[in-house]
């Protein structure tokens, strides 16, 4: 069994000799629940992290926002846990907990002193096996209102908060599960009936559609005994097929303008790439860092430092189970015309497509990715989440070494190739957010956002 190499040793070692892994044991209960246990006795804490393999990408038109709504409903009590006691019991034991939802999965996690691991497992098992025993219309309505308010706070009333919601239907055809965002629409949240929600739970919240990772100061045999005791009696559900919607190429380059309550104009350029762990994901991630990662990156240095026409820059490859999109964002100064930003961004991309970055430039980026990679594994919760991530997307919780090797093996020619293959001359979406009353700041031919 490999061990996690200490951070300093990893950073000091030659690239070719670096290797990192998370020691773990995996087993599956007869009802299909997969369990990953990783012992880490460095501190007396433990993380319990449960991933249900359902996110907004599993929803359908007219019923969006269910996966995220469930994230809230799951804390409202279950068969043996009265409403409000899930949090109270964990906090009384010195722990904390939360949940997150994205396109592909919903995660629930607890971090607490290691002597509380049995409490966390019992709580997770009780809501996996007994949520519907305690769910009623009143609880659903209350959490529906919470989610609607969250939508108002984070999407509708937040500057640039509708960026992803505006981009999604431009990037994907109507009906594609990535053509809407995780938060869902107000109309769909309002339309969700108690029966809809119960059906959703029965379909996706079954042990055979979940993976439980337990990391920290625990004994694997003890965890296995507790998991079998609390989860073993939960019946298996029907098999859940993975969504397999095609992600067609972007049909034409479009310039979309959104006038909003913002002070500074912001430009987003978005291209279609590939799904998680596809061949070029690592090179595209590195390309994003070359463009905007740190103050010496190409776009940040040019637009923010040298020319002082932008407030900030950001580039990232947003890869999910079915597809991926490469984003470049530039937030200008108050009177910046986004036409200029678009031209300068495209110029920098063309430079990389014509001439690969230097070996030193790439190495700087890879060093940063390595540091972030290891930093994510410094906590028990970080490791628990990473184990689940590898299990779901790579089909192997022990994927860490191969994941890191994707980056250390990159060459400047790889970065040049992905710039050519995915960005230069390819159709993409250009989204301009401009202050209300100033459409003249937008880039390109103007098309109002829906």
pLDDT digits (tens, 9 = 90+) for 23-41: 999 999 999 999 999 999 9
Condensed to tens digits (0 to 9), the pLDDT of residues 354-394 reads 999 999 999 999 999 999 999 999 999 999 999 999 999 99
pLDDT value of residue 17? 42
In DSSP terms, which residues pair with 324 in a beta bridge? Answer: 319
With beta carbons less than 8 A apart as the criterion, state whether 109 and 50 touch. yes
164-222: pLDDT as tens digits: 999 999 999 999 999 999 999 999 999 989 998 899 999 999 999 999 999 999 999 99
Buried b (16+ CB within 10 A) or exposed e, 253-280: ebbbbbbbebebbbbbbbbbbbebbeeb
pLDDT at 247: 85
Structure confidence at residue 2 (pLDDT): 34
**pLDDT classification of 450: cutoffs 50, 70, 90:** low
Task: Give the distance from CA 308 to its chain's centroid.
Answer: 32
Q: Does pLDDT of 14 surpass 80? A: no
Which ranges of 376-422 would DSSP assign to H, the alpha helix?
Answer: 380-389, 400-408, 412-418
Is the pLDDT at 1 greater than 90? The verdict is: no
Q: Distances in Å between the alpha carbon of 217 and those of 38, 46, 305?
A: 9, 6, 47
CA atoms within 13 A of residue 354's CA, in its CB half-sphere: 6
pLDDT tens for 335-358 read 899 999 999 999 999 999 999 999
Q: Calculate the average pLDDT of the chain.
A: 93
Sorted by sequence, the CB contacts under 8 Å of residue 277 that are 6+ apart come out as: 319, 393, 394
- CB atoms under 10 Å from CB of 150, counted, come to 13
Q: What percent of the chain stands above pLDDT 90?
A: 89
Give the pLDDT confidence of 107-125 residue by residue, as tens digits: 999 999 999 999 999 999 9
| pLDDT at position 9 over 80 | no
């Amino acid at each position: 069994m490999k061990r996690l190499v200490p951070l300093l040793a990893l950073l000091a070692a030659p690239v070719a000799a670096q290797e990192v892994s998370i020691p773990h044991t995996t087993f599956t209960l007869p009802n299909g629940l997969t369990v990953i246990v990783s012992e880490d006795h460095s501190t007396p804490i433990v993380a319990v992290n449960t991933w249900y393999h359902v996110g907004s990408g599993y929803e359908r038109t007219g019923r969006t926002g269910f996966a995220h709504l469930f994230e809230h409903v799951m804390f409202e009590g279950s068969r043996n846990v009265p409403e409000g006691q899930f949090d109270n019991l964990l906090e009384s034991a010195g722990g904390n907990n939360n949940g997150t939802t994205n396109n592909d999965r919903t995660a629930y996690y607890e971090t607490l002193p290691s002597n509380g691991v049995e409490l966390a497992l019992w709580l997770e098992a009780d809501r996996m096996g007994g949520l519907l025993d305690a769910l009623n219309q009143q609880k659903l309505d209350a959490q529906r209102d919470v989610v609607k308010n969250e939508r108002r706070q984070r999407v509708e009333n937040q500057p640039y908060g509708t960026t992803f919601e505006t981009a999604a239907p431009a990037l994907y055809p109507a009906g594609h599960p990535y053509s809407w965002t995780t938060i869902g629409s107000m109309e769909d949240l309002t339309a969700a009936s108690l029966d809809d929600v119960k059906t959703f739970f029965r379909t996706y919240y079954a042990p055979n559609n979940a993976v439980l990772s337990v990391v920290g100061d625990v004994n694997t045999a003890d965890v296995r005994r507790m998991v079998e005791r609390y989860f073993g009696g939960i019946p298996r559900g029907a098999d859940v097929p993975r969504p397999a919607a095609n992600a067609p190429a972007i049909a034409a380059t479009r310039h979309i303008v959104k006038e909003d309550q913002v002070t500074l104009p912001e430009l987003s350029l978005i291209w279609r790439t590939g799904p998680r762990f596809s061949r070029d994901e690592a090179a595209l991630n590195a390309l994003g860092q070359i463009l905007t990662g740190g103050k010496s990156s190409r776009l940040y240095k040019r637009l923010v430092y040298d020319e002082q026409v932008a407030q900030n820059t950001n580039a990232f490859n947003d890869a999910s189970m079915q597809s991926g999109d490469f984003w470049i964002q530039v937030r200008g100064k108050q009177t910046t015309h986004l036409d200029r930003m678009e031209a300068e961004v495209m110029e920098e991309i063309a430079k990389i497509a014509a001439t690969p970055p230097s070996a030193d430039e790439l190495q700087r980026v890879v060093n940063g990715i390595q540091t972030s990679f290891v930093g994510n594994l410094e906590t028990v919760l970080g490791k628990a989440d990473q184990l689940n991530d590898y299990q779901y997307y790579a089909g192997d919780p022990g994927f860490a070494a191969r994941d890191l090797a994707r980056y250390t093996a990159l060459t400047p020619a790889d970065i040049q190739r992905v710039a050519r293959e995915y960005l230069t001359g390819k159709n993409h979406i250009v989204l301009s957010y401009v202050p209300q009353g100033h459409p003249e700041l937008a880039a390109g031919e103007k098309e109002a956002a829906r």
